[in-house]
């Protein structure tokens, strides 16, 4: 019997840097881990595993009113606060997040995330659902707000220990995990929780939703 698969993607802003990808089945067992460079490679992975849910760590929508993030374009956000509602709700909970305004420093990541979501919907034969996740917010919900930085040795030890607790099947591999693979694992786990109806939706369906563990 083939169990549903849940794919987490820690997307990079450019195809020049590989994106960490990790897949789990419904028993939380590892079915895939690796780094992929091009959007076409990620779409091919989706075609191979036909995940029930693909969770992408990148903004997958723009604030209502914007058609792009170019300052030369006259489009303007509908809300005077400029960010998406889901971003504002994260901030209201004390969870910082990347800006989605025209002055954002992650413009390339946002464009790539939107493009990848579109490509999966258009080109993957059995793509399932694509959702936006934010692994830092997921980690706050799962592990608490007091976490060492993931770029430090202490932070990596913390992440590996916590991932081993919630995903015991990963324990044999965790020593080789960098923080990108850890974030991909958290994204995949959030996708599994989404499937189990154990997430909270922040934002609106019209503008964009970020799903976090409840």
| 199 bridge partner residues | 213
pLDDT of 125 higher than 90:
no
Residue 210 banded pLDDT, cuts 50, 70, 90: very high
User: Using one digit for the tens of pLDDT, what is the confidence trace for 41-100?
Assistant: 999 999 999 999 999 999 999 999 999 999 999 999 988 877 899 999 999 999 999 889
Neighbouring residues of 157: CB distance < 8 A, sequence distance ≥ 6: none
Cα 170 from chain centroid (whole Å): 19
pLDDT number for residue 3: 67
The architecture CATH gives domain 5-205:
2-Layer Sandwich (3.30)
Closest CA to 118 of 189, 191, 40: 40
Q: What is the dihedral of CA 37, 39, 45, 47, to 10 degrees?
A: -160
The C-alpha atoms of residue 21 and residue 8 are separated, in whole angstroms, by: 6
pLDDT band of residue 151 (cuts 50, 70, 90) is: confident
Q: Where are the domains of the chain?
A: 5-205
| Mean pLDDT score, 133-156 | 92
What pLDDT does residue 164 have? 96
Q: Contact 27/38 with Cβ under 8 angstroms?
A: no
Question: Quick one: pLDDT at residue 2?
Answer: 59
């Amino acid at each position: 019997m083939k169990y549903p698969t849940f794919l987490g993607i820690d997307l990079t802003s450019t195809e020049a840097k590989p994106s960490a990808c990790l897949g789990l089945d419904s028993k939380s067992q590892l079915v895939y881990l690796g780094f992929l460079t091009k959007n076409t490679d990620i779409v091919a992975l989706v075609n191979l595993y036909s995940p029930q849910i693909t969770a992408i760590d990148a903004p997958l929508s723009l604030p209502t009113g914007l058609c792009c993030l170019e300052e030369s374009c006259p489009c303007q956000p509908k809300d005077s606060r400029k960010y998406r509602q889901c971003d504002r709700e994260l901030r209201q909970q004390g969870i910082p997040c990347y800006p989605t305004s025209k002055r954002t420093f992650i413009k390339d990541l946002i464009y790539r995330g939107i493009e990848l979501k579109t490509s999966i919907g258009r080109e993957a034969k059995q793509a399932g659902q694509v959702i936006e996740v934010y692994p830092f917010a997921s980690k706050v919900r799962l592990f608490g707000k007091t976490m060492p930085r993931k770029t430090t040795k202490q932070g990596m030890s913390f992440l590996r220990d916590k991932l081993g607790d919630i995903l015991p099947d990963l324990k044999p591999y965790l020593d080789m995990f960098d923080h990108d693979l850890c974030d991909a694992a958290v994204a995949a786990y959030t996708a599994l929780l989404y499937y189990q109806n154990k997430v909270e939706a922040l934002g609106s369906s019209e503008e964009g939703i970020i799903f976090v563990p409840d």
